Amino acid sequence: MENVHFAIVGCGHIAKKHAEGIKNTPGATLVAVCDTIPSNMEWYVQECQAVAYQDYDEMLKNPKIDVVNICTPSGSHAPLAIKAAEAKKHVIVEKPIALTIKDADAIVEACKKNKVKLSVLHPNRFRPAMMELKKMMDEGRFGKLSHANATVRWNRNQQYYDQAPWRGTKSLDGGVLMNQAIHNLDLLLWLMGDIDEVYSMSATRLRKIEAEDVSVGTVKFKNGALGVIEAATTIYPKNFEESLSIFGETASVKIGGRTANFIEHWVMEGMPEEEVAQLKHKINENPYGIPGHQCIIEDMVQAVNDDREPIITGEDGIRALRLVAGLYQSAEKRMPIKAHDIE
């Protein structure tokens, strides 16, 4: 296996998860970082021996870089990803892939045109409980699906939004659906399939931000099943729960906890209680598993070496973005929106 060299652009909070994932992945090396603020890069220079760049275009000239990890505010993803692709660098982009479908499409097109690989950070798919649930759904253990419930009840206080001027803005960040709940919505689509129609209401109730801090909505999937979505950053005084529940004719499952890592309910036809207890014990022993960021970086290393598509693709990122865009569109127009009308 050939060593794959990574660069990170945007050295804020989330970038350290990328750096740790690279550090813990065999065959991966962090060689460069880029940020407009020099002090933000000091940790990466000292701890990872990465070369620091303030100029992104200059960094992209470095021939050693194979993959660029984009960790900047969401509204800036598209131009940075497109430049990386044009420089023949593979791309890992933080969620959401972009804030508009037009920008997301442009990222995917640039990566295809330049024959580079693209992966989007939806790491929650690698949670042990979610992987078990996905396996059971793929095996058809739920029978005909009835409905699903995706819930994010978290706290992001005003201090959180005040940390940076881009937070909570519509142009660079988005609200609870685009920022916090999009991981949960990606899981919902991964498990339930594509959407047919959405209907939503949203509000900005407690935080002084442009975007929404609470949203409720419903979904009809192409398979005929229904879904309920609830997302809020207004929960007092701290994160309460993130959960995903799936109901079918032969199974009912809820994965919950503060970050949807634990089996809270698992009843399945043909699965004895003893087997369910063993599964719960297995998950409780290691509910978080290998960090999702590391899993995605490991996958990119394998994808580059094997010349295959990453597990989580640009199209996957667009699918989650389209759901959020549809919910926004419905709330704005106060009417149901068909999937083919989402803009």
Tell me the pLDDT tens digit for each residue of 62-72: 999 999 999 99
Question: pLDDT at position 82, please?
Answer: 98
Could you read off the pLDDT of 320-334 as tens digits, one per residue? 999 999 999 999 999
Question: pLDDT at position 64, please?
Answer: 98
* Mean pLDDT, all residues of the chain: 98
Instruction: Give the span between the Cα atoms of 205 and 231, in whole angstroms.
Output: 13
Could you read off the pLDDT of 128-166 as tens digits, one per residue? 999 999 999 999 999 999 999 999 999 999 999 999 999
With beta carbons less than 8 A apart as the criterion, state whether 292 and 105 touch.
no
> What mean pLDDT comes out for the span 258-278?
98
Q: Residue written as tokens 């972009």?
A: 98
> What mean pLDDT comes out for the span 21-25?
98
With beta carbons less than 8 A apart as the criterion, state whether 275 and 300 touch.
no
- Global pTM reads 0.96
pLDDT bucket at 257, cuts 50 / 70 / 90: very high
Among 3.40.50.920, 3.30.43.10, 3.40.50.720, 3.10.20.740, name the CATH number for the domain at 4-123+292-311. 3.40.50.720
Query: Could you tell me the residue ranges of all domains in the chain?
Result: 4-123+292-311, 124-289+322-337
> For residue 191, what are its two tokens?
């498990």
The type of residue at 55 is D
Question: pLDDT at position 65, please?
Answer: 98
Question: pLDDT at position 193, please?
Answer: 98
With beta carbons less than 8 A apart as the criterion, state whether 177 and 256 touch.
no
Question: pLDDT at position 90, please?
Answer: 98
Instruction: Give the span between the Cα atoms of 75 and 98, in whole angstroms.
Output: 6
Question: pLDDT at position 262, please?
Answer: 98
Question: pLDDT at position 1, please?
Answer: 76
> What mean pLDDT comes out for the span 10-15?
96
> What mean pLDDT comes out for the span 179-187?
98
Could you read off the pLDDT of 210-247 as tens digits, one per residue? 999 999 999 999 999 999 999 999 999 999 999 999 99
Could you read off the pLDDT of 288-328 as tens digits, one per residue? 999 999 999 999 999 999 999 999 999 999 999 999 999 99
Enumerate residues 6+ apart whose C-beta is below 8 A from 70: 9, 10, 77, 80, 81, 84, 91, 92, 93, 94
Class of domain 124-289+322-337: alpha beta
